[in-house]
Amino acid sequence: MLNTPQQRTFAQIAEELADDEHSFPSGILPHPQFDAAMRTFHLLYSSYRMFLVVGPSGVGKDALAMSILSALNRPILDSPDLLRAVMVTAASAQGRAFSMLELWKDTLYAMNEPLVGRKHDLDGERRHTQEAPDLGLTPTQKQAKSAYDLRRYVCRAAKDRQLKLLLIDEAFAIVKTERDRSLLEQLDALRNLADAAPFRIALVSTGRILEKFESSGELARRMRVMHFPRYGSPLGTNGRPVAHSDPVADRKAHLGVFVRLQNELPESSRLKPTPHQLEDLYSLSLGCVGHLVDWCRRAIIHCHHSGRDQLRWRDFTETPLSKATLDKLRKQSDDSESKLQALCQPPAFSKPDPPPDDDPTPPVGPSPKKPRSRRKGVPHATRYGKLREAKRNGDT
């Protein structure tokens, strides 16, 4: 049985964090940006067959994906047959170029499909299919090897598993091709699958994927984009500038995550940071919660290896990301935000939108008479009134 967080000592937590498989005991830490991203994801999930989740590195995209996975595969549906969401990675572990065949194979493995390499071809004799479609197909001896065959197996397995969502992580690998045509074909294949199968496809990627979107209008038209912003970002989850940005609130929310991380530790082991240190924690983690969590993890492990059980600021100053890395990450996130802003910027309409307070529905019946101002001593700004006043003053 697992210990509760209060019962764990600092050394236990540090040893578990040293293993990459373990995270903080509380798991995923919800925070305002995460909640906003989750709401937008839910909106897109309920409206579109395929969409893209973009965000800078370390902002918490994987945490979002894992949270959605666990929410869809919640214990109430914990039947050994059903599987509501799976996540696969588009980037090849061997560093090879992306191929749809590998993606379908990974999807089948993620769905725990048996004997993927020994499946037979389904294009058998059509006779029985026409006569008795419910009997199933009569397969031939040929082994299934093409991506088309595997895609059909994915479709069939998804129907049997009642799959609702396929999350494709590291989706920039799909667009990492020189030819726009093959890229469009691959995305068409994904879209066709999403249309044929009863599930949605969500591509999760950093802003690198937007380079192709910038150059191909056709691609940009086909894909709905959702932004998972970092704290301090000028853009919202729809990729447009935020109307009322509040840097102080962003900073508070970001540092609230740090406070909650500290609460996982025993009280005697916690750091009591000064305002300057808090400012450093915010600025050197680039407003990304993932970077902050990783930094805290490194600091705790450093503290444990130093033979202490109380965090000091020195543990943080010795374990930050390097300046070059931070500069690169900052530049990447700035670039992708500017690209995303350009991509999501609405066109100029001939007639501007009415202000949000106005009632958009026109009134029924005759238009009501405009009420006259009841303030005394203020002349009506009518043309007639102005002319009369000018005549009185002697101007012609």
What share of residues in the chain are helix, strand, coil (percent, to 5)?
50, 10, 40
Tell me whether residue 1 or residue 76 sits nearer to another protein (CB atom): 76
Decide: 60 and 27 in contact? Cβ < 8 Å. Answer: no
Size of the site for another protein (CB under 8 A): 35
C-beta closer to another protein: residue 2 or 348? 2
Determine the Cα–Cα distance for residues 272 and 278; give it in Å rounded to an integer: 10
Q: Give CA angle at 87 (112, 56), nearest 5°.
A: 165
Distance from chain centroid for Cα 97: 24
Q: Are 316 and 281 in contact (CB under 8 A)?
A: yes
| Residue (62 or 294) nearer to another protein, CB | 62
Identify the bridge partners of residue 241 per DSSP, sorted by sequence position. Answer: 235
Structure tokens at 95: 């560093």
- Are 169 and 62 in contact by the 8 Å Cβ rule? The answer is yes
Give min distance, CB of 272 to another protein, in A. 39
Does 21 participate in binding another protein (rule CB under 8 A)?
no
Residues 160-199: x where in contact with another protein by CB under 8 A, - otherwise, as a string: xx--------------------------------------
Query: Which of 1, 19, 97, 127 contacts another protein by CB under 8 A?
Result: 127
Residue whose CB is less far from another protein, 75 or 377: 75
Angle 73-256-30 from CA coordinates, rounded to 5°: 10
8-state DSSP, 87: E
Find the binder of another protein among 7, 21, 76, 80 (CB under 8 A): 80
Of 141 and 322, CB closest to another protein: 141
Give the interface segment with another protein, choosing from 150-158, 184-192, 263-271, 376-384 (CB under 8 A). Answer: 150-158
Which of residues 122, 184, 223, 253 is near another protein by CB under 8 A?
122
Question: ∠ at Cα 371 (367, 372), nearest 5°?
Answer: 140
Range in contact with another protein (rule: CB under 8 A) among 36-44, 78-86, 170-178, 189-197: 78-86
The answer to whether the beta carbons of residues 341 and 239 sit under 8 Å apart is: yes
What are the b/e assignments for 65-74, b being 16+ CB within 10 Å?
Answer: bebbbeebbe
Interaction between residue 81 and another protein (CB under 8 A): yes
Q: Give 336's contacts (C-beta < 8 A, 6+ positions apart).
A: 54, 56, 206, 207, 208, 210
Residue whose CB is less far from another protein, 113 or 250 = 113
What is the three-class DSSP state of 56? coil
Contact pattern for another protein over residues 45 through 74, marking x by CB under 8 A? -------------------------x--x-
Q: Which of 35, 125, 185, 188 binds another protein (CB under 8 A)?
A: 125
Contact 17, 300 (CB under 8 A): yes
Stretch that binds another protein, among 2-10, 124-132, 216-224, 337-345 (CB under 8 A): 124-132
Q: Which stretch binds another protein (CB under 8 A): 134-142, 228-236, 352-360, 367-375?
A: 134-142
Binding site for another protein (CB under 8 A): 70, 73, 78-83, 111-115, 118-120, 122, 125, 127-128, 131-136, 138-139, 141, 144, 153, 156-157, 160-161
